[in-house]
Structure 1
Amino acid sequence: MVRAATLADAPAVRLLINEVDLVDTGDAGYSVEEVEGDLRRTADLARDSWLAFDGDRLVAYAVLWPASTGVRFDVDHYVLRDAVPAGIHLLDLLTARAAELPGGADLHLALTPDSVLAVHALPARGWRNVRRHHVLTRVVSVGADLPPVLPDDVRIRVAVSPADQEVAYRLVQETFDGHFGFEPTGYDEWRKRMDADHRDWSLTWIASRNGVDTGVLVGHNDREATGWVQNLGTVAAARGSGIATLLLRTAFAEFAQRGRRAVGLGVDTENVNNALRFYTGLGFDLQFAADTWRLVVAA
């Protein structure tokens, strides 16, 4: 049986995601709250999400997320290894749905290299492997990760006020412009994608130098044992000045205080700013690789 997902399905989806992730990545830290956030940012949950059941057992899950104000959509897809036909069926359903959208859709799907879909289904259906990312993690602890001592001209504040949340938005749009996979969005759409009304904004920091906002770190604490850095960016004029390091060390200390054992993030292996070298220099280690697959669907 196949049907759309609802928020009430979040616990079952979480179990499925963690079962798949444990095999594909060695980690199983997805929380119910994170699944609920994923479902809330779907444009039309009744038409853009799918659950496949074998009897009462959930075996596959897929969802479409608008990634821009245009035709770019991100896809999330999980299927158990003994239910590949169900996963392929959901893949075909979401492709058919994409063809119903005005202007079609530019679909992006991230999977580990040995994912069952990557091996069995995507190439035969016209999907192309266009990029590789690495997921990195760094162990944190209260004793080892203290808040950084800031230079006299640097201030770091949390983005708890509506005005600072808009500042964070502008900094993300500016600092990620031109990066692979990044699509500019309007503020209201960005807030929906960020699940802003349910987000802990005390884990988003803005750095300023001499009163000028120069960097942002957007984090969240929805995983079971790992804090997550969703975005980290500095304006071009401030790159190489230590702002990103100060933001990260601020995040390390806060996540450690909240009982997280590690901090994770994703990095484009072809990042022109040598981001991979920067993160490994701060103690991050490779956890797993993920490939971005792309399919352009005509209306």
Structure 2
Amino acid sequence: MTVRPAEIADAPAIRDLINVVDLVDTGEGGYAVDEVEGDLRRAGDLARDSWLAYDGDRLVAYAVLWPASASGRLDVDHYVLRDAVSAGSLLLDLLTARAAEIAAATGVEAADLHLALTPESVLAVHALPVRGWRAVRRHHVLTRPVSPSDDAEPALPADVTIRVATSPDDQETAYRLVQETFAGHFGFEPTSYDEWRKRMDADHRDWTLTWIASRGSTDVGVLIGHNDREATGWVQNLGTVAAARGGGIATALLRTSFVEFAARGRSAVGLGVDTENAHNALHFYTGLGFQLQFAADTWRLVVPAP
């Protein structure tokens, strides 16, 4: 076995690995090269915060660390083939050691690692519990079919307009709305605008898939989507300010995205929802035709700085 850092040029091989793993764990493998490239660009230091494990010439495991907050939160992405658990375990140990280094370098007491995996993942079954990781939250990934014939432009609530967030000012407005509407949600970490743009891979993002809803002259809702997967459009963030909830704004934003994704040839739209969401989001999405595709657990490990 050999291990080395990932490079942007490795994206096609990483995409293939992710899709093989996802096909087994979730029943669908739809990752695209552009999405992997965006994931790699989000790393703080790609040469030190990413790992590829090879069995001979065969890529069998991949992991990357993403900075998520100034307080020590680090998000983890990790994929491993089912016949290569030892390689996946090795990468877990390497990224844990690296997380401790990052904590020490940034002056925080500990690194707080978060990793999302399906319950059937070989890492979840065989590697995480024995290393002290704990499953702390469950999310559902939901999908809904879309088509030009079935999805029409929505009728907007009174005094509500929706615009595409292509201008720099609107991109910053989208940031502010995400910070406001997701405050208090599980796993959300407030960030500066510059940090948020890096995490969103903003310089390479298609901003025509971000919409802002306004009621009168006040911006009250945002939907941030991306079209990087092979067949499914993705809703990354959907939020409405507290004073505007229950007025049909989130529904209008979603239906706007359905029309656009269908026009771009997508056959479905997907999103993730916290099963313990305080606003009953799961019921809201199923009422719009979304159905469960698979569950994913958030695993957590706190790594003290040396």
How would you bin the TM-score normalised by the shorter chain?
A: over 0.9
Check if 1:32 corresponds to 2:33: yes
Asked whether the 8 Å contact 1:267–1:275 carries over to 2, the reply is yes
Cα separation, 2, equivalents of 1:75 and 1:151: 40
Cα separation, 2, equivalents of 1:203 and 1:69: 28
Aligned to 2:181: 175
Cα separation, 2, equivalents of 1:111 and 1:95: 17
Cα separation, 1, equivalents of 2:29 and 2:124: 20
Cα separation, 2, equivalents of 1:146 and 1:79: 41
Asked whether the 8 Å contact 2:154–2:256 carries over to 1, the reply is yes
Cα separation, 1, equivalents of 2:146 and 2:243: 30
Check if 1:44 corresponds to 2:45: yes
What SS does structure 2 have at the residue aligned with 1:147? Answer: coil
Q: 1:231 aligns with which of 227, 232, 237?
A: 237
Amino acid at match of 1:264: G
Cα separation, 2, equivalents of 1:226 and 1:118: 26
Aligned to 1:109: 115
After the TM superposition, which of the residue ranges 22-31 and 144-153 deviates more from structure 2? 144-153
**1:133-148 equivalences in 2 (<5 Å):** 133-148=139-154
What SS does structure 2 have at the residue aligned with 1:16? Answer: helix
What SS does structure 2 have at the residue aligned with 1:132? Answer: strand
Aligned to 2:286: 280
Check if 1:295 corresponds to 2:301: yes
Cα separation, 2, equivalents of 1:275 and 1:185: 24
Q: 1:215 aligns with which of 205, 210, 221?
A: 221
What SS does structure 2 have at the residue aligned with 1:178? Answer: coil
What SS does structure 2 have at the residue aligned with 1:182? Answer: coil
Give 1:208 shift. Answer: 0.3
What SS does structure 2 have at the residue aligned with 1:113? Answer: coil
**Aligned residues with identical type, % of pairs:** 80
Asked whether the 8 Å contact 2:141–2:293 carries over to 1, the reply is yes
Cα separation, 1, equivalents of 2:120 and 2:271: 20
Amino acid at match of 2:87: A
Question: Which segments of 5 or more consecutive residues in structure 1 lack a partner in the other structure?
Answer: none
Question: Which segments of 5 or more consecutive residues in structure 2 lack a partner in the other structure?
Answer: none
- RMSD between aligned residues: 0.6
Cα separation, 1, equivalents of 2:70 and 2:242: 25
After the TM superposition, which of the residue ranges 151-160 and 266-275 deviates more from structure 2? 151-160
Check if 1:122 corresponds to 2:123: no
Aligned to 1:19: 20
What SS does structure 1 have at the residue aligned with 2:47? Answer: helix
Give 1:269 shift. Answer: 0.1
Check if 1:192 corresponds to 2:198: yes
Aligned to 1:166: 172
Aligned to 1:88: 89
Give 1:36 shift. Answer: 0.1
Give 1:140 shift. Answer: 0.2
Cα separation, 1, equivalents of 2:113 and 2:254: 31
Give 1:70 shift. Answer: 2.0
Asked whether the 8 Å contact 2:157–2:248 carries over to 1, the reply is no
Give 1:211 shift. Answer: 1.3
Q: TM-score, normalised by structure 2?
A: 0.97
Cα separation, 1, equivalents of 2:157 and 2:291: 28
Give 1:273 shift. Answer: 0.1
How many residue pairs get aligned? The number is 299
Q: 2:260 aligns with which of 228, 245, 254?
A: 254
Give 1:152 shift. Answer: 4.1
Cα separation, 1, equivalents of 2:275 and 2:38: 27
Check if 1:3 corresponds to 2:4: yes
Cα separation, 2, equivalents of 1:286 and 1:226: 14
What SS does structure 1 have at the residue aligned with 2:172? Answer: helix
